[in-house]
A and B are shown apart, each in its own frame.
Chain A
Amino acid sequence: MPRRFPADELNILPVGMLVRAAAAGDDASFEELVRRYYGQVRRQIVGFFHSDNDADDLCQETFLKAWRKISTFREDASFSTWLYRLTENLCKDELRKRGRIPPAASLDDPETSAADLRDISDIDQPEEALLRKDSAEALRRALDLLDPDDRMLLLLHETGGLSYAEIAERMHLQPGTVSSRMTRTRQKLKKWLSDREEKP
């Protein structure tokens, strides 16, 4: 029997514990992983197709595939990296099915990802775009305020699924620097969000 955690504890558990429990068959742990990584997967899909259409369906398909394969996950990479690769493969398969020309842009390019985040209001239907407008504009402002290196670092992690070590290697930084910069960048965003809530 898989180990089951109390429902009110799931949101504080580390990723590794959730992955192991999910691999042993605990559905609640897997759902918590979906909650945590849904944004990463959805953003990756939207960035891949440059479209919001069918993104939720493809997200569901991706996580179903992850559920089927989670027992094969080897802990020599981070879960987010594994999920990123899985999503990438599913997007490529979907692209072949649709018979479309692959998009020129890649999520590996953080500037492209940043542009995707900035243009979040342009990719949806008008009604949906309107609903997102405030958030999208605020996000654009926040990202524009970030130091370019910090923005790249954040996006490599959040949309690219890269671990700190992988980011450090790519950006020629020390892992400790990645950690401190990530913390600092998130604090800035958090502060920006709280300021925005105070001044709607």
Chain B
Amino acid sequence: MNGRLKEQRTEEGGRNMQRTKPILFGEHPDDELLNRYFDGETGTEETAAVLDHLRRCEKCRDRLAGLQTVRDLLLLGEDNSPKAAASAVGKAVHAEKRRRLVVRLTSAAAVAVLAFGIGFGILRSHNPAIFAPNEAKSQDAQFEADDTSVKDGQYHVLPIDREEIGGMDQVEPSPPSEPNTASSYHPSGQVSGEDDQVKTVTETTVETEEPAANDEPQ
């Protein structure tokens, strides 16, 4: 950087040479000052002064527009309109803004739903009765109704699925070893005991040979 001339920070943040001639109120900026203003090479005070003048002077606004025309023709030729391009970019910017908004709203909604779900789950796990007291009762009742092993206070042997237990049907039921025990064997498949408790024996256990005559109770 050539540091021989004093520099100052410009309005746009670049660097520029110190202005040599102040702009007076009502005075048209000269070509060089307007040129520097156009290129963003003016300092803060100069920028404010030129802008103030431009707001009031149509002639200088035309001069400024002329600089932009030269630039556009130099860089773009005549068949490229920077206005049309700016409009197209503006639409693209709006579309991008909408897309970002949709993404934000969707994310916010997803987070809200997730938070609600987690909160509900935690609350329910700690206080199940608050959310479904009747459901809990009905589940208990259903459990009792399904439990067919206890009926009328008596124990009943449930039917056994042969296939499920596999090979169990090959096991010969052992006849009572002692004919005169507390419980006696009946071909009908019933075993009676001293306490008159009746147990239903499944077919599996009934498939036995006829007991010997001497096994008959005396």
**Which residues from chain A sit less than 8 Å from chain B, CB to CB?**
9, 11-17, 19, 27, 30-32, 34-36, 38-40, 42-43, 56, 59-60, 63-64, 67-68, 74-81, 117, 120, 128, 131-132, 134-136, 139, 154, 157-159, 163-165, 168-169, 172-176, 179-180, 182-183, 186-187, 189-190, 193
Cβ of B31 and Cβ of A183 under 8 Å apart? yes
Minimum distance in angstroms from A90 CB to a CB of chain B? 14
> Could you write out 8 A-B pairs with CB less than 8 Å apart?
A11-B61, A36-B82, A64-B93, A158-B71, A165-B14, A174-B2, A174-B5, A183-B35
Cβ of A79 and Cβ of B12 under 8 Å apart? yes
Known: A27-B93, A186-B70. A179 touches B35 (CB 8 A): yes
Cβ of B73 and Cβ of A15 under 8 Å apart? no
Binds A, one of B47-55, B119-127, B132-140, B181-189: B47-55
Known: A31-B90, A42-B75, A75-B13. A179 touches B41 (CB 8 A): yes
Cβ of A43 and Cβ of B76 under 8 Å apart? yes
Binary contact readout B63-82 vs A (1 if CB under 8 angstroms, 0 otherwise) = 01111111111111111101
4 tightest A-B CB contacts, nearest first: A75-B13, A39-B75, A16-B12, A15-B40
Minimum distance in angstroms from A41 CB to a CB of chain B? 9
Cβ of A176 and Cβ of B40 under 8 Å apart? no
Q: Does B88 contact A (CB under 8 A)?
A: yes
Q: Determine which of B17, B72, B76, B79 lies in contact with A131 in the assembled complex, contact meaning CB atoms within 8 Å.
A: B79
Q: How far is the CA of A12 from the CA of B69 in the complex (A)?
A: 14
Task: Specify which chain B residues have a CB less than 8 angstroms from the CB of A154 in the assembled complex.
Answer: 74
Cβ of B35 and Cβ of A38 under 8 Å apart? no
Cβ of A186 and Cβ of B85 under 8 Å apart? no
Task: Specify which chain A residues have a CB less than 8 angstroms from the CB of B68 in the assembled complex.
Answer: 11, 36
Q: Determine which of B4, B66, B86, B89 lies in contact with A64 in the assembled complex, contact meaning CB atoms within 8 Å.
A: B89
Cβ of B7 and Cβ of A120 under 8 Å apart? no
Binary contact readout B104-120 vs A (1 if CB under 8 angstroms, 0 otherwise) = 00000000000000000
* Extra contacts besides A81-B14, A158-B71, A193-B73 (17): CB < 8 Å: A14-B37, A16-B40, A34-B89, A38-B86, A40-B75, A42-B76, A56-B85, A79-B40, A117-B75, A131-B79, A132-B77, A154-B74, A158-B74, A165-B1, A173-B2, A175-B15, A186-B35
Cβ of A64 and Cβ of B13 under 8 Å apart? no
Q: How far is the CA of A183 from the CA of B63 in the complex (A)?
A: 12
Cβ of B82 and Cβ of A35 under 8 Å apart? yes
Q: Determine which of A43, A60, A175 lies in contact with B5 in the assembled complex, contact meaning CB atoms within 8 Å.
A: A175
Q: Determine which of A11, A165, A173 lies in contact with B15 in the assembled complex, contact meaning CB atoms within 8 Å.
A: A165
Q: How far is the CA of A52 from the CA of B31 in the complex (A)?
A: 34
B10 — nearest CB in chain A belongs to which residue? A16
Cβ of B2 and Cβ of A75 under 8 Å apart? no
Known: A64-B93, A190-B66. A59 touches B85 (CB 8 A): yes
Cβ of B16 and Cβ of A164 under 8 Å apart? yes
Task: Specify which chain A residues have a CB less than 8 angstroms from the CB of B88 in the assembled complex.
Answer: 56, 60
Q: Determine which of A16, A60, A67, A158 lies in contact with B11 in the assembled complex, contact meaning CB atoms within 8 Å.
A: A16
Q: Does B152 contact A (CB under 8 A)?
A: no
Binary contact readout B31-45 vs A (1 if CB under 8 angstroms, 0 otherwise) = 110011101111000
Cβ of B17 and Cβ of A164 under 8 Å apart? yes
Cβ of B82 and Cβ of A77 under 8 Å apart? no
Cβ of B13 and Cβ of A76 under 8 Å apart? yes
Q: How far is the CA of A31 from the CA of B79 in the complex (A)?
A: 19
Q: How far is the CA of A74 from the CA of B14 in the complex (A)?
A: 10
Q: How far is the CA of A182 from the CA of B92 in the complex (A)?
A: 34
Cβ of B12 and Cβ of A27 under 8 Å apart? no
Known: A39-B76, A79-B12. A14 touches B42 (CB 8 A): yes
Task: Specify which chain A residues have a CB less than 8 angstroms from the CB of B73 in the assembled complex.
Answer: 135, 139, 193
